[in-house]
Amino acid sequence: MPYESGPMTEAMYYVLLSLLRPNHGYQLMNEIEKVSKGRIKMGPGTLYGVLTRLLKDKLIIVVNDDGRRKTYSITEDGRKALEIEYERLISMVNDGKIIMEDRDE
């Protein structure tokens, strides 16, 4: 089932992005900060909220659970959703280029 809930929140986008490489919650927060080049400092509450939601929507799965910590990974659906969102963002940015053209004139 492809993701059809419209535009993603920034938090959701970056969690999916960071889970292209399997990771556990604890390190995910640092990973997100790294991936966003320090722009996003996600609160742990938000992080676990997103993880719960993504698990429910089957965009990510738990690949390893040793009882102490869970390792998450993106699913095929998740990857598709991420690609769709990426395309959407790209066209948004492209469409937004008229701002620059306006400025040039």
Partner 1 sequence: MSKSVKKFMPGDLWDFGKNESWFSDMALKGLHLQSIGSWFAVFEKGQPQKTKYRIEVLEESPSQEQLELYRECGWDLVANKQMFYVFSSPEELNAPELQTDPMEQGFTFKMIDRQLKKNMIAISLLFLSFLLSQFHLSFQDEPYLFLIKQRAFTLVAIIVPYIYIFIESIRGYLAVKKTRGSLLMGIPINHKRKWKLSYIISVIIHVYLIGLIALLFITPFYAVMRRETYTYKTVEDIPVISIYDIEKGPVYDYSHSIDYDWSLVSPVQYIIYEDGYIEGQMQGDFSGAYFKTSIQTRYYELALRGISEGLLNDLIHRYYRHYEEKLIEIENERFDRLYAASGEGNKLIFASFDNKVIYIKYSGKADLDYIISLIEKKYNL
User: Is the CB of 70 or the CB of 80 nearer to partner 1?
Assistant: 70
Q: Which stretch binds partner 1 (CB under 8 A): 37-45, 80-88, 94-102?
A: 37-45
H helices within the chain, ranges in order?
10-18, 25-35, 44-56, 76-95, 98-104
User: Is the CB of 6 or the CB of 96 nearer to partner 1?
Assistant: 6
53 binds partner 1 per the rule CB under 8 A: yes
User: Is the CB of 5 or the CB of 94 nearer to partner 1?
Assistant: 5
For residues 64 to 93, the per-residue mask of contacts with partner 1, x marking binding by CB under 8 A and - elsewhere, is ----xxx-----------------------
C-alpha span between 78 and 62 (Å, rounded): 13
85-94 long-range contacts, Cβ below 8 Å, gap at least 24? 85/7, 85/8, 85/13, 88/7
The length of the chain is: 105
Q: Which stretch binds partner 1 (CB under 8 A): 23-31, 73-81, 83-91, 95-103?
A: 23-31
